[in-house]
């Protein structure tokens, strides 16, 4: 059984099918890429998975449990984390306190200080724990957002455009970091940087006009003529 599964998801806006009958599976311990041209339906699809908006048709399960009707906060408590797109950083609070707030709002179980310390260690921010978040560099802010997501102790972590604005060296570090999250955490990666997707993802789903255009390994996606015409520009 897939860790996260969607079947027949549909969502229309003003007669336009933003997501039109999408099936999707995320396996335990997998890094799964989600790509597609602008307007393909990626943001709407991820919003359906995370509970930010409700589907008009279809079903979503997490570890076999139907979560279709659950709001976003209830999905977080069941292990579905969504970061980078909607994470709220409090610039006047310390790095430590920002992560502590995420623990308190999520499914964190155990000693608060230990959970925060573990999340900061995972992203390499232990030395900055007492710094005000508002003083961090852009790259460190991204790492803080990731630490806040990891502090939720997710089973699934959705990363939405995580490398946007990062320098090349920071991207290399991010790739190594995300690879190290598995198999404990399964990752859905929405990313325009194709080099990052091709290096990290075991499988890739391509959306176009709200529908699944292709699914497969990076090699299969590279070789898919329909994907080349719609997105890769080959």
**DSSP letter (8 states) at residue 133:** G
**31-35 and 57-62 strand pairing:** unpaired
Per-residue pLDDT, 228: 87
CA distances from 114 to 6, 99, 126, 182 (A): 34, 11, 12, 20
pTM of the model: 0.90
pLDDT in tens, 111-151: 899 999 999 999 999 999 999 999 999 889 988 999 998 98
Per-residue pLDDT, 234: 47
Q: How many CA atoms lie within 13 A of 205 on its CB side?
A: 22
Q: Which CATH architecture has domain 21-79+154-234?
A: 3-Layer(aba) Sandwich (3.40)
Instruction: Using alpha carbons, select from 159, 182, 183 the residue that is nearest to residue 171.
Output: 159
Measured CA to CA, the distance from residue 224 to residue 228 in angstroms comes to 6
In which residue ranges of the chain is CATH 3.40.50.300 found? 21-79+154-234
Which residue(s) pair with 214 in the sheet? 206
Per-residue pLDDT, 211: 96
- Could you state, in chain order, the average pLDDT of each consecutive group of 10 residues for the chain (234 residues)? 95 93 97 93 94 96 97 92 71 95 72 92 94 92 90 92 85 92 94 93 96 96 90 61
């Amino acid at each position: 059984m897939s860790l996260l599964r969607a079947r027949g998801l549909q969502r229309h806006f003003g007669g336009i099918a933003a997501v039109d009958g999408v099936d999707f599976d995320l396996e335990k311990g997998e890094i799964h890429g989600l790509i597609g041209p602008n307007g393909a339906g990626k943001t709407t699809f991820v919003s359906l998975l995370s509970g930010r908006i409700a589907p008009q048709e279809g079903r979503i399960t997490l570890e076999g449990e139907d979560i279709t009707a659950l709001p976003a906060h209830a999905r977080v408590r069941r292990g579905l984390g969504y970061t980078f797109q909607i994470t709220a950083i409090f610039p006047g609070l310390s790095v430590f306190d920002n992560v502590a707030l995420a623990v308190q709002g999520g499914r964190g179980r155990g000693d608060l200080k230990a959970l925060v310390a573990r999340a900061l260690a995972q992203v390499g921010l232990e030395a900055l724990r007492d710094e005000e978040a508002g003083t961090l560099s852009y790259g460190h802010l991204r790492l803080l957002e990731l630490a806040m997501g990891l502090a939720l102790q997710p089973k699934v972590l959705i990363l939405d455009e995580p490398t946007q604005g990062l320098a090349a060296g920071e991207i290399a570090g991010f790739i190594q970091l995300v690879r190290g999250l598995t198999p404990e955490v399964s990752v859905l990666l929405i990313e325009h940087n194709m080099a990052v997707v091709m290096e990290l993802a075991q499988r890739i789903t391509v959306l176009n006009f709200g529908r699944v255009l292709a699914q497969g390994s990076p090699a299969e996606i590279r070789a898919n003529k329909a994907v080349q015409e719609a997105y890769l520009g080959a």
